[in-house]
Homo-oligomer: A and B are copies of this chain.
Amino acid sequence: MPEISKKGKRMPASPIRKLVPYADSAKQKGRTVYHLNIGQPDINTPEVALEAVKNYPHQVVEYSHSQGIPSLREKLVGYYKQHDIEVTSDEIIVGAGASEAILFAMNSCFDPGDEIVIPEPFYANYNSFAINAGIEVKPIFSSIDTGFALPPIAEFEKAITDKTKGILICNPNNPTGYLYSKEELETLRDIVKKYDLYLIADEVYREFCYDGNKHYSAMYLEGIEQNVVLIDSVSKRYSACGIRIGYMISKNKELMQTALKFAQARLSPPSFGQVAAEAAMDVGDDYFEANLKEYDARRKVVYESINAMEGAECPMPKGAFYVVAKLPIDDSDKFCQWLLEDFEYENQTVMLAPASGFYSTPGRGKDEVRISYVLKVENMKKSMKCLAEALKVYPGRSG
């Protein structure tokens, strides 16, 4: 029997999915499990997007353009213009989710052995994509004590070697909920310029900014237009995770021509998803305003509840719909499993994501969890009550 690839052996199993059998087993016992472990919103996909798919006019579902349906890319130009991002339809490649867009970007920018710097904690799959592309992630530490702000320049400079070819950020941030300021982005620009790096900016949570804060895109940065790669997705924006439509965007023509070769090899992105994505842009501001209001209320429940628990704390998230909370626990992997396997409060429990999975430095995040506030306020309250009760009786409680 031939060997499995070394690359495949290095691929991490998802830290969240390991817990799925325990969640299933809790449900089999008749328990309500609140899923705060994944970024699957409960918000309806816009009716206009679903309707467009239902009115699909063709008798043959043909390949679309490898770069994406032209009318979709044309309409995206208008969407970005509303966000003061000037792009042309040629500067956009449609992918099967942001996931594929990130792979296009990594494969076009980096070779095996190259290094990219990512502030940790970071979205766990960045590491998987990096392994897929054969590149090395060099994490730099962003701390809960500063609310997960961008680490100082000195930390970047310590991590940068002659193999470093890029920096990747997620803004607003998954898992921390942090929203990078204009000043932080400008700091990044200086580093990117000084070391001539690619800056991959994952901005899929652009619309999810609270307290009146405005999102500052990496596309605004002057002087590094050829270095910036924007990653985007409709999954969260329109609560349409399953349609698998994301975007790789860059003003760097040579890079886009290269990425297009990867896109052409896989022929085309999903047709129905593109139809839905194009129509979804017709939703009015009221869709986003209503959602933001809803998420804001959920956010406040989490923030207030966590900080009211003895020994627990979290910063007020400024964007996305996640927060990383510090809990008085010995080991978040054990704790999250225990919640599903051994705990119940009024026949309910809660599923969280151990933050260890979001750090690439071993040992970090052991007393932290990521909470996705994707359930309605009433359920968020119930799940926070569960968590509070759980912390009172968890055998591995510390402090």
Residues of chain A whose beta carbon lies under 8 Å from any beta carbon of chain B: 1-9, 11-14, 17, 38, 40-45, 50, 53-54, 56, 59-64, 66, 96-97, 99-100, 103, 107-112, 114, 125, 128-129, 132, 134, 165-166, 196-198, 226-227, 239-244, 252, 254-255, 258-259, 261-262, 264-273, 276
Contact = CB atoms under 8 A, between A and B. Distances in A.
Given A2-B109, A107-B7, A132-B107, A14 B264 contact: yes
Given A258-B4, A270-B270, A276 B60 contact: no
B244 A1 contact: no
Given A56-B54, A242-B271, A255-B4, A125 B61 contact: no
16 contacts: A2-B165, A2-B227, A5-B108, A5-B109, A8-B261, A8-B262, A12-B261, A38-B63, A44-B60, A61-B276, A96-B266, A96-B270, A99-B267, A112-B112, A270-B273, A273-B273
Given A227-B2, A272-B272, A273-B270, A262 B54 contact: no
User: Nearest 8 A-B pairs (CB), nearest first?
Assistant: A242-B271, A128-B265, A272-B272, A8-B258, A99-B266, A270-B270, A11-B261, A61-B242
Nearest to A198: B2
Contacts of A96: 96, 100, 244, 266, 270
B198 A240 contact: no
A63 B267 contact: no
Contact of A6 (B3, B13, B111): B111
A270 B240 CA distance: 11
Contacts of A17: 66, 264
B134 A134 contact: yes
Contacts of A198: 2
Nearest to A259: B8
Contacts of A197: 2
A89 B270 CA distance: 23
Contacts of A44: 59-60
A273 B64 CA distance: 14
Contact of A271 (B110, B114, B244): B244
Contact of A265 (B5, B99, B259, B276): B99
B59 A45 contact: yes
A226 to B, nearest CB: 5
A336 to B, nearest CB: 17
Nearest to A264: B14
Contacts of A41: 60
A252 B109 CA distance: 34
A5 B56 contact: no
A53 B14 contact: no
A125 B261 CA distance: 10
A266 B126 CA distance: 10
Given A43-B60, A97-B266, 8 more contacts: A5-B258, A53-B53, A53-B56, A112-B112, A125-B266, A241-B267, A243-B270, A243-B272
Given A11-B265, A128-B265, A267-B99, A5 B111 contact: yes
